[in-house]
Structure formats: C-alpha cells, structure tokens
Amino acid sequence: MLLTIDIGNTKIKCAVFEQNTLLEKFVFATEDALKNFKKILKKFENIQFSISSSVGKLDKECLEYINTQSKLIIVSHELNFPFKNLYSTPKTLGVDRMVLAAGASILYPNSNCLIIDAGTCVTYDFIDKRNNYLGGAISPGIRLRYEVLHNYTAKLPLLEKEEVNHFIGNSTNESIHSGIINGLTHEIEGFISQYFHKYQHLTIILTGGDADFLAKRLKSTIFANSNFLLESLNLLFNYVQTKK
C-alpha cells in the first residue's frame, strides 16, 4: 500500500492506494497533521511506502513519524520525472505543478495536455505531445479573490463563494460574486481557447479544491478530477520505482 500526501497552503490532502485503486481519501488542517497521520497509519497497517508533495510546511516531527512507519519519498526537483522540463527557471517550478504534469504525461502519452489546478491559486501547466513541459500561468484562486477585494478596499465585505446565475449584479454582494465567479470562468475559458488555437488536439484536466464547483460552469470539454494530484503522486511513485 502507498500513502500519497499533498501538503497545500491551508490543508493537507492524502490518500491510500492499493496499486492504482484509491481506497480512502483524507483532508485536514496542517495543525492537526500528526494526530491524523497516526490514525491513518494505524488504520492501514500495510502501508509500506509514502510519497509527499509540498507547497506548504509540515513540521519535522510529523515527517519523521511518517518515515518511521513507511519509506517516505519527498518529491523534489531531483526526482526522476517522466517528461522533459523546458521551463526557463526549472528550480523555481512548484513540485505540485511537476507532479500534475507527471500524472498527465503518464496517463495521456503523446498528447497535448493542459492541467488546470483550481486551489488557493489557479495554475495552468502544459505538456506537448512530444512530452515537453513548456510552462503555463498562475493566477489567484477563488478564495484569494474574495479576500483581496475585502482586504484592499475600505468597505467591500468578505463573502463566501456561491453559485452565480447572473452577470449583471444589482447589489454590491451580487456584483462581487459576479466579478469573481464569472471573471474566473471567463479567464479559464480564455486560456483554453488560446491553447486550442495553437494546439487543436488538446486534453484538458481540471483539478483542485474548486474543480467540481467550476466544472459545471465551463463550456469546454474537460476531465474534472479533484483527486488528480493525489492520483498523480501514485503514478509518479510507480514510475520512479520502475526506473530504479
């Protein structure tokens, strides 16, 4: 069994895999990490390996505990990835983006793939059909957009995301919702359109915490999978094991 761990900016997501089958998924706050990992590793005593991708921070005690219970691989730029990285500053490329690119390259070989991760930030990552990672884009996610409007203005309230069925907001709250939700939807559709214009045969994967919320708003044909990073960690682990 394998434990895959995604350490994000605000939460930790992890999943237990048996081969390519996801047995169970867990989501918890960083401050609750140690007690949750103890519960997971006690429940699944057959976990032999673990693999972790991090854009946030996890304390040393927690990492050491995981490593005592399983053989832990921490994803870094030195790991063997299944694509050619053509990013001009490869050492600054987030390992989470590299993991997503790895998953796409393994699942969809010889394909142009655009991976959109809608979390704290929205990241766009592109791999061409020759298995070259070319780069992408980064923009604020839904929650960040609400917080920025509130924190950098004098009177705009801090709202929670909600479904929007209008584009003309007839109140301040409706205007904020329209600007953020419709604005991000148009942004994503715009990026997709640009990629389709240059790469006609394109596989699009939408993942991240807001993937399901956004998927139903997009007109483009996409594969929406909120677990894609965890699944990509599993695929990357198997790939690395075959290259030893």
Interval 127-139: pLDDT, tens: 999 999 999 999 9
pLDDT digits (tens, 9 = 90+) for 4-52: 999 987 789 999 999 889 999 999 998 889 999 999 999 999 999 999 9
- Among 96, 117, 125, 128, the active-site one is 96
User: What are the DSSP calls for 81-143, one per residue?
Assistant: -SSEE--SSGGGS-HHHHHHHHHHHHHSTTSEEEEEEESSEEEEEEE-TTSEEEEEEEEE-HH
Cα 165 to chain center, whole Å?
A: 27
CATH of 2-74, one of 3.30.420.40, 3.10.450.50, 3.40.50.970, 3.40.50.1000: 3.30.420.40
Question: What type of residue is 99?
Answer: V
Q: Which CATH class is domain 84-234?
A: alpha beta
Cα 156 to chain center, whole Å?
A: 29
pTM of the model: 0.93
Domain(s) of CATH 3.30.420.40: residues in the chain: 2-74, 84-234
User: Is residue 96 annotated as part of the catalytic site, yes or no?
Assistant: yes
